[in-house]
Amino acid sequence: MNIDNLVAVLAIAAAVPLALGALPRVPVPGPVLEIVAGIIFGPAVLDLIQPDQAVRLLATIGLGFLLFLAGLEIDIQHFRGAPARLAGMGLVCSMILAAIIGGVLHAVGIVESSLLVGIILISTSLGLIIPILKDAGQLDRPLGQLTIAGASLGEVFAVVLLSLFFSERSSGLGAKLLLLVLLALFVSLVVILTLRAEHSMRLTWLINRLADTSAQIRIRLSVLLVVGLGAVAMHLGFEAILGAFIAGAMLRLVDADADRTHPQFHVKLEGLGYGFLIPVFFVTSGLTFNLSVLFSSASTVLRVPLFLIAILVVRAVPALLYRPVLHGRRHVAAAGLLQAATLPFIVAATTIGLQLNAIRPANAAALVAAGLLSVIIFPAIALGLMRRDSIATETAEPESTPRPLSGELEEALAVDVVSGA
């Protein structure tokens, strides 16, 4: 096996964060530069790196680990109370808008599968918006809580719907629904067994003793969980990414206190993912990106802003439902823009769509390009809006001691309902 191409991919993965560190004023996320570098050094432009078997294998594992870490961001607390209700209403609104836009695009002959495009449009890059909200000091405030809840629901439903309707390994919606139930039962069984095992003092002591040694037992068990659930999902007729995503969500559920009990655990997982596997996936996505098809005609190029507007409408418009809770139009706009930032899921979904002939290469390239623009433009504008609001708040009179988030949301919702009545 020749690993020269893999060495070049890893060199790009190492060079991108160094370049961003040396140029901190460049507001471009690392994955975007990794994809762009893959396009430039790949067959599309310079033809210096080829996506051979070794590169594609690690890229596939990297995609699974990306979905695993995305699932690890899913906090069950965000699916409770007023934030969950508002986020759920927003998701329903997004799905209606996605169905309408997908149907219109299909009716006029722009896209092949309105369902696939609709699923792509409801997705959000949860792993991208959490660091932005954290840096802006909004993570634990209404803006952050609502945005994370909405992004979590969008990511969960997008992954499940993609696996349910677009898979090479099973046929028939009824059979898929039954197999999905079986997968849920299997995951529930694993969760129950894991929670019971945690009550074993001897087993807990053994795992804790081996956690930070060369055995790194928590990391090994996590990797086993990702690959194992991915394999189970494939055997049941779904894509492996569904199993990887569920593995992350399941680990967050059974080990909710990980940040307190073993704070280095998630750091190690992120080091394995973002330090090695996930950059290979993004660079390889650039290597396989069909740049010639994207610029083959003016109509294909014009689809990029069309898809970008569609993403913005589907994910940003439902943020208007957050108005009773958020403070001002800037926060509403920021929440909508952050929810409209999406890239990894688009890359994964278009890759699967191409394998199933559910999407043309031109539309796949245009959707990925729209995703690239969304993660460059929307978060930057949202961050600017949040900074303006923060400056305006600092110059205003001091506020009283803030109440808990749930109380703010409940009271705002009650006032909105009364005024509406």
23/92: higher pLDDT? 92
Decide if pLDDT at 185 tops 80: yes
Distance CA 363, CA 294 (A): 8
Burial of 18 (0-12, 13-18, 19+ CB in 10 A): exposed
* Amino acid 136: pLDDT: 77
Other CB atoms within 10 A of residue 267 CB? 11
- Buried/exposed code over 342-361 (b: 16+ C-beta within 10 A; e: otherwise): bbbbbbbbbbbbbeeebbbb
User: Over the range 373-400, which residues count as b (16 or more CB within 10 Å of their CB) and which as e?
Assistant: bbbebbbbebbebbeebeeeeeeeeeee
The tally of CA atoms less than 13 A away on the side-chain side of residue 363 is 20
CB-CB contact of 229 with 244 (8 Å): yes
What's the confidence (pLDDT) of residue 94? 96
**Structural domain count of the chain:** 1
Confidence check: pLDDT of 324 > 80: yes
Work out the mean pLDDT of the chain and round it to a whole number: 85
State yes or no: pLDDT of 184 exceeds 60: yes
Report the CATH number that the domain containing residue 225 is assigned in CATH.
Answer: 1.20.1530.20
Separation of alpha carbons 384 and 196, rounded Å? 47
Higher pLDDT pick, 179 / 303 = 303
Q: How far apart are CA 88 and CA 356, in angstroms?
A: 30
pLDDT (tens digit per residue) in 127-166: 778 878 877 788 778 888 888 888 888 888 998 899 888 8
Domain-located, residue 398? no
What is the predicted pLDDT for the residue at 236? Answer: 83
**Residue 396 banded pLDDT, cuts 50, 70, 90:** low
What is the pLDDT at residue 306? Answer: 97
Mean pLDDT on 214-237: 90
In a domain, 153, yes or no: yes
Residue 399 placed within a domain: no
Sign of the C-alpha dihedral, residues 168, 171, 176, 179? negative
pLDDT tens per residue, range 34-75: 999 999 999 999 999 999 999 999 999 998 898 898 888 877
Greater pLDDT, 183 or 121: 121
Cβ–Cβ under 8 Å, residues 146 and 320: no
Residue 352 within any structural domain of the chain: yes
Q: Is residue 174 part of a domain?
A: yes
Tokens (6 digits) for 161: 């719907």
As a whole number of angstroms, the distance between CA 129 and CA 340 comes to 10
Banded model confidence at residue 195, pLDDT cuts 50, 70, 90: confident
> Which residue range forms the structural domain that includes residue 236?
4-393+405-420
DSSP for 131-142?
Answer: HHHHHTT-TTSH
Contact 84, 149 (CB under 8 A): yes
The most confident of 160-174, 263-277, 378-392, by mean pLDDT: 263-277
pLDDT over 50 at 421, yes or no: no
In-domain check, residue 400: no
pLDDT digit string (tens) for 357-376? Answer: 999 999 999 999 999 999 98
Give the Cα separation of 224 and 207 in Å (integer): 15
pLDDT surpassing 50 at residue 114: yes
- The pair phi, psi for residue 348, each rounded to 5°, is -65, -45
Question: CA–CA separation, 179 vs 170, rounded Å?
Answer: 9
**Of the listed ranges 32-41, 212-221, 402-411, the one predicted with least confidence:** 402-411
Asked whether residue 231 is assigned to any structural domain, the reply reads yes
Question: Once rounded to an integer, what is the mean pLDDT over residues 380-407?
Answer: 63
